[in-house]
Amino acid sequence: MPELRQNIITGDWVVIAPERAKRPQDFIIPKSVKVSDKTKCPFCVDSEGFKANKKNMKADHKDIYVIENRYPAFVEDESKKSIRSFYPEKGFYRARASVGDHEVVVIKDHDLNLLSFPKPLLDNLFEIMRERYIWIKEHEKVVSIMPIYNHGAESGASIDHPHAQIFASGIISNTVGQEIDGADTYYGVNGACIYCDIINHELKEKIRVIAENDNFVAIEFYASRFPFETWILPKNHQSQFEETTKQNMLLFSEIVFESLAMLNKTLDNPPLNFYIHTLPVIHKDSASYHWHMEILPRLSTFGGFELGSEIIINVMPPEEAAHYLKSPKRD
Ligand code: AMP
Ligand code: ZN
Ligand code: ZN
């Protein structure tokens, strides 16, 4: 029988439908092969297209560089808007300029794959994301910042050269807003951080935990929307991603590395997204909110019910997903 499960942070419901459950190998996993021609790839450093990007360079390291997004969702300087920009219809609809920042964090080697990045490269990626996060927080007038990664065409990636992105906006995203509200309400009633309580519960139950180190835990989320939806959280209460020390960032990178390796072993290079949910930069600190990463393998698409109701049907119970991920071999 299907089960309705509630995300206890946001209150959102999902349907876990195990009758329709599949084994990992029964999911149709699109093969994300690289199709682009390196000489035409806009992110390859020796390509023609890259030359135009040189002036937009925000940081340049040995294996990774950071550039301004050429087609930004949020723009640094409102006066730079193009002639194709919209002008708000005042008085009825609500609109405002989409100000902020949108950067692309590019891995120099075109041929690498997120799911098998060498560990030192993943360490560098998170350290550079944290550096850029802090730079944007200190230099731009933004409200919230979200680092993300799209891997594979089905995840929405339009360029197959490996890259992450940092979105910085003048608003709080719907999801983080809902999480903050839910966490505040829980704190008001229970006097505790809901994420810390989830971690304690999961470490006691041990049925959805897939990896753990001194400072981080990786779990299959109880109310998973996607098969193999994996959350990584700092074990000690911390509301702001950017406050993570260098030492702890290495432990974070280590558990992400392990989780990606497990997903790769079980699902054979699945398309996926990950993003970091953290306290908006307009807040100083929070006893109720707790930063975390969500990794979403994209093995299912939404139908009319999902879009119409925002109630998502997931055919893979997270307890089974954890079992598959922890098995030494694909079973
Ligand atoms: P994705 O669609 O996830 O692959 O992300 C690629 C991002 O790179 C998009 O946000 C594009 O706006 C941006 N982009 C595309 N071409 C360029 C370019 N030549 N220079 C900088 N950013 C680019
Ligand atoms: Zn390339
Ligand atoms: Zn907490």
Pocket test for ligand 1, best of 39, 160, 165, 275 (most atoms within 8 A of CB): 165
- What is the Å distance from ligand 1's center to 109 Cα? 16
Residue ID of nearest Cα to ligand 1 atom 17:
70
Q: What are the tokens at 317?
A: 């119970």
For residue 146, what are the CA distances in angstroms to 59, 136, 142, 170, 276?
Answer: 18, 11, 11, 12, 6
Angle subtended at Cα 102 by Cα 99 and Cα 103, rounded to the nearest 5 degrees: 155
Per-domain boundaries in the chain: 3-326
For residue 12, what are the CA distances in angstroms to 131, 187, 297, 331?
Answer: 33, 18, 19, 31
**Which ligand lies nearest to the CA atom of residue 290 in the structure?**
3
Supply the pLDDT for residue 84.
67
- What is the Å distance from ligand 2's center to 44 Cα? 4
Fold observed for domain 3-326: HIT family, subunit A (3.30.428)
Supply the pLDDT for residue 31.
66
Report residue 302 CA to chain centroid gap: 19
pTM of the entire predicted model: 0.95
Ligand 1 atom closest to 71 (CA): 12
Query: Mean pLDDT per segment of 10 residues, for the chain of length 331 residues?
Result: 95 90 77 72 85 84 94 82 66 82 96 96 98 96 96 92 97 96 98 98 98 98 97 98 97 98 96 98 96 96 94 96 89 58
- What is the Å distance from ligand 2's center to 210 Cα? 33
The CB-side HSE value for 51 (13 A sphere, CA atoms) comes to 4
Residue identified by tokens 């100000």 is: 99
**Which ligand lies nearest to the CA atom of residue 55 in the structure?**
1
Supply the pLDDT for residue 82.
67
- Exposed (0-12), middle (13-18) or buried (19+): which is 81, by Cβ within 10 Å? middle
Strand order from edge to edge, sheet including 100-107 = 57-60, 64-68, 100-107, 163-169, 144-151, 272-277, 292-297, 230-234, 216-220, 209-212
Ligand 1 atom closest to 68 (CA): 21
Determine if residue 199 is left, alpha or beta; phi over 0 gives left, psi from -120 to 50 gives alpha, anything else beta: alpha
Supply the pLDDT for residue 166.
98
Closest alpha carbon to 141 in 101, 102, 87, 172: 101
Closest alpha carbon to 116 in 275, 262, 331: 262
CA distance 133 to 123: 15
- Exposed (0-12), middle (13-18) or buried (19+): which is 178, by Cβ within 10 Å? middle
Ligand 1 residue neighbourhood (C-beta within 6 Å): 42, 49, 53, 67, 69-71, 104, 150, 156-159
Q: What are the tokens at 197?
A: 């309580």
Residue identified by tokens 């995300």 is: 7
- What is the Å distance from ligand 2's center to 144 Cα? 29
